[in-house]
Amino acid sequence: MNPLRDGARLRVLLAEDNAFEARLIQGVLRQLGVGMVAHHRDGAGAMSAVTADMTPFDLVISDWNMPNGTGLDLLRHVRDVWKHTPFLMLTAHATVDFVKAAKANAVDAYLVKPFAPRDLAGRITQLLSA
């Protein structure tokens, strides 16, 4: 994994309720050189970190299924507040309904769990280089 260019200045919002998955994602972000990761364990906490008066995050990574608000709720909120912030959705269930709902709400990319760290790093690099 090669560090991202200007990675130290990047800010990522991570919404993931599973502690193991969160540590894995944070480890990949560290290896990519990301400077700041704001981690929330539920949808409500993550949504509270997305306000119009704040500087937008460079990337939002969210699990689909979380307590107190889903990843889809967070995606809709991010699109209402920060239309152009890249959003990576993670899910264990890539059903047709999931794909339709994610696309209808302008998700930038999604990754099906379980995933390899290199696949996550590749998707993050792709989103942050666009």
Q: Do residues 34 and 6 touch, judged by C-beta distance below 8 A?
A: no
Kindly report whether the global pTM for this prediction surpasses the value 0.85.
yes
Residue 118 has pLDDT above 90, yes or no: yes
Q: Do residues 71 and 90 touch, judged by C-beta distance below 8 A?
A: yes
* Closest C-alpha to 80, from 96, 60, 110: 60
User: So where are the chain's domains?
Assistant: 7-129
What fold, for 7-129?
A: Rossmann fold (3.40.50)
pLDDT per position as a tens digit, 9-52: 999 999 999 999 999 999 999 999 999 999 999 999 999 999 99
pLDDT per position as a tens digit, 43-79: 999 999 999 999 999 999 999 999 999 999 999 999 9
DSSP result, 65-127: S-TTS-HHHHHHHHHHH-TTS-EEEEES---HHHHHHHHHTT--EEEESS--HHHHHHHHHHH
Residue 130 has pLDDT above 80, yes or no: no
Report pLDDT for 35. 95
